[in-house]
Amino acid sequence: MNNKTELIFGYGSLMSFHGLYRNGTGILNKIKILDAFRAQIKAKRGFAKPSNNNIFMDLDFFYKLKGSVINKELKQGCLEGLVIKINQKDFPKFCKREGYARGIKLIKDYSEYDSIGEELWNLFHDSRDNDSYQFIKEYRKNLRERMNYTSEHYIPHPLEIQNLGYAILFIAPGKYETGNINLPSRKEQEGIFDLMGANDVLKRSNINRNEFFNYTLECLYGGVHGINIRDIIDLISEVPQFLKDLQKKLQIESLVNERTQFANEIFDNLEIYQQKFGNLDQNLRRSGLKSILDIEKF
């Protein structure tokens, strides 16, 4: 019986209950999340990963792949996200959601390690003989060779989190390639090599505005849990009407509902959640979400 666990770092829709479970319709619907932590890494995020008629979050400038659990203070130059702890047997479902088809093989091939995150870190460390641009490419090449596979969508990367362990985060290949010169990434196919704001996304002719709106809302709900999302707010503030439409959805009832469902699903009660994440008003202030809400209601 496999009692191992994995840590997953989410920096987009995985930061909220709405994004994780998607009203019971998502791939992760039946997954039990064992614990959750706020964490930070040195990186930059933006909209960059195309899928069907939508654009999802991606990272850049993430070369060191090291992070830490968040204290109360905001740290300049860091991106904040949510680390969730899951049973290792559920890891393939995360891989499926992110478009990576070797989750089961990763578990089988690295069964002698405490976690997949640890083994991916070893592989990443072995790839670091080159400069910062090249060792990302080298890591993906080495992972492809071991798996006899790579993905044009998201690829799992290791993240060493201080005093917590090794986590996994999914990053979309683009200018750092897929690890297979014969397989261009979805970003390359769409000509996307840089992170975008909402304005550039909504200019694209093939974008389903409603799907992009719902995805962005899932990301913003992460602010309910005190995750700093000011960088995401900046990305969407460049389209005032889009921001206004999102503000209409971010009412007190929906914020309380996000908090309550998140707390009950992961911690079984609100008291334990509040000990770890704080109260709603504190979180809305810390995350920056309060800056775009109707503050008279709080």
- In DSSP notation, 53-102 reads TEEEEEEES-TT-EEEE--SS--TT-EEEEEEEEEGGGHHHHHHHTT---
Phi, psi of 271 (to 5 degrees): -65, -45
Which pLDDT score is estimated for 126? 73
With a cut of 70, which residues of the chain have pLDDT below it? Answer: 1, 24-26, 127-132, 295-298
Cα gap 34→197, rounded to integer Å: 33
Which pLDDT score is estimated for 145? 96
Which pLDDT score is estimated for 73? 76
Q: Which residues contact 16 (CB under 8 A, 6 or more apart)?
A: 218, 219, 220, 221, 222, 224, 225, 258, 262
Which pLDDT score is estimated for 110? 86
pTM (2 d.p.): 0.94
**Domains of the chain: residue spans and CATH:** 5-293 (3.10.490.10)
Which pLDDT score is estimated for 30? 77
Q: Which residues contact 296 (CB under 8 A, 6 or more apart)?
A: none
Which pLDDT score is estimated for 116? 96
- Sign of the Cα torsion 32, 36, 39, 45 reads positive
* Residue tagged 């999102």 (tokens): 246
Which pLDDT score is estimated for 71? 76
Which pLDDT score is estimated for 296? 55
Which pLDDT score is estimated for 150? 97
